[in-house]
Amino acid sequence: MSDLPVQALQTALAAEHAAVWGYGLASAFLPPQSDDKLTEGSAAHRARRDATERMLRDAGVAPVPAAPGYLTPEPVTDVASAVAMVTTLETDAAVAWRSVVERSPADPAIRSAALDALTGAAVRATRWRAAVRNDRLTVPFPGLP
Amino acid sequence: MTATPRSRRRVLRAGLTAGGLLVTAPAVLTGCSVLTPGAPDAPDPLESPARRAEADVTLARAVADGHPDLAPAATAYAADRQAHAAALRAELRRLNPEMAPSSSAAPAPAVRPAFADSSDAGNALAAATSRAQSEAGALVAVLPGYRAALLASIAACCASHAVVLA
């Protein structure tokens, strides 16, 4: 696929690396009732990371590696800040994958992978918001920065 | 006269007919419109999701009015679907300047959906989110980048509401 949106995919891969790292950090602060959301989110981001690396390698592009460490926008010290962090990570992933949709040719394989990734991120962000509040659980255009 | 795809097709058709090329073969032209992606006479592919978004606003408002237990989720769905309808109508007008102004500005219809109970209403709303997600998602594979991204966000939003309603 010569039309692969390499830069957008690398940005999305970087977001997936950050999400995998962030879910690991969050697990240290979240109570057992968050275990399902943590397990599901962590597995989804690992699978997406691996699939994106394969997609890039198949196109002859070296995938960006994970950073040795990450800075969170706010210190993660408790349940509220951990939930805020994973919600932000999902929001960032949604932005990155929407950009892949926008920049890719109308190729069903890459468009459907990017749509699945965007949808998964939006749904998980909604679940995390619902864990800490009762309103404003959705946004009208997930992935729109 | 504004040079729109539609008017170009009318001119083309008139020219062909006048030249006698299509006198006995109107079906050929119709067939072309159906089979050619983005043919000028085909409805814009955003028309259907725009109408669905507007219908969902009506549905969700009726659910919110009649079923207080569902009101928070239904009101939130109505608000997001209103935003979808506005964005889709704006994109439709951008590429089809001859279109009438947004029909989402029309007054609410006199006849509104009614449901036997909250369970019925909740099911209707959940089914609407699912249909909206499917329709928008299917168009993501085939439309140009900007439109595909808009529909991808709409599909992801409707999937999020399905989770809230579940």
State phi, psi for B43 to the nearest 5 degrees: -65, 150
- The tokens describing A73, both together, are 């926008």
Residue B3: the pLDDT is 41
Task: Name the residue of chain A whose CA is nearest to B85's CA.
Answer: A140
pLDDT-flagged residues of chain B (< 70): 1-40, 100-111
- A44-97 pLDDT, tens digit per residue, is 999 999 999 999 999 999 999 999 989 998 999 999 999 999 999 999 999 999
Amino acid at B61: R
Question: Does the CB of A114 have a partner CB in chain B at under 8 Å?
Answer: yes
Give the single-character DSSP code of B13: H
Residue B100: the pLDDT is 63
- Portion 120-139 of A in contact with B at CB < 8 A: 121-123, 125-127, 130, 134-139
Question: Does the CB of A12 have a partner CB in chain B at under 8 Å?
Answer: no
- Portion 82-111 of A in contact with B at CB < 8 A: 94, 98-99, 101-104, 106, 108, 111
- A103-145 pLDDT, tens digit per residue, is 999 888 999 999 999 999 999 999 999 999 989 999 999 999 8
The rounded Cα B106 to chain-centroid distance in angstroms is 15
Q: Are A79 and A30 in contact (CB under 8 A)?
A: yes
Indicate yes or no: CB of B152 within 8 angstroms of CB of A123: no
Residue B19: the pLDDT is 35
**What is the average pLDDT value for chain B, to the nearest integer?**
79
Give the single-character DSSP code of B112: -
Question: Does the CB of A143 have a partner CB in chain B at under 8 Å?
Answer: yes
Nearest to B158 by CA among B143, B142, B16, B139: B139
- A13-32 pLDDT, tens digit per residue, is 999 999 999 999 999 999 99
Residue B112: the pLDDT is 72
Residue A40: the pLDDT is 97
Residue B97: the pLDDT is 84
At A61, is the secondary structure helix, strand, or coil? Answer: coil
Q: Are A97 and A143 in contact (CB under 8 A)?
A: yes
B148 or A3: whose pLDDT is higher? B148
Alpha-carbon distance of B26 to B14, in angstroms, equals 12
Indicate yes or no: CB of B153 within 8 angstroms of CB of A141: yes
Is B31 buried (19+), middle (13-18) or exposed (0-12) by CB count in 10 A? exposed
Instruction: Enter the ipTM.
Output: 0.96
- The tokens describing B94, both together, are 């951008």
Alpha-carbon distance of B135 to B104, in angstroms, equals 19
Assess whether pLDDT exceeds 50 at residue A8.
Answer: yes
Task: Tell me which H or E stretch contains B136.
Answer: helix B118-140
State phi, psi for A5 to the nearest 5 degrees: -80, 80
Phi-psi region of B37 (alpha: psi -120 to 50; beta: other; left: phi over 0): beta
Q: Which of A95, A99, A101 is most worth mutating to test chain B (most B CB atoms within 10 A of its CB)?
A: A101
- The tokens describing A135, both together, are 């309103």
Indicate yes or no: CB of B140 within 8 angstroms of CB of A142: no
Alpha-carbon distance of A109 to A66, in angstroms, equals 25
Nearest to A93 by CA among A16, A4, A21, A10: A16
Alpha-carbon distance of A38 to A114, in angstroms, equals 21
Split at pLDDT 50, 70, 90, the class of A3 is: confident
Q: What is the pTM (predicted TM-score) of this model?
A: 0.84
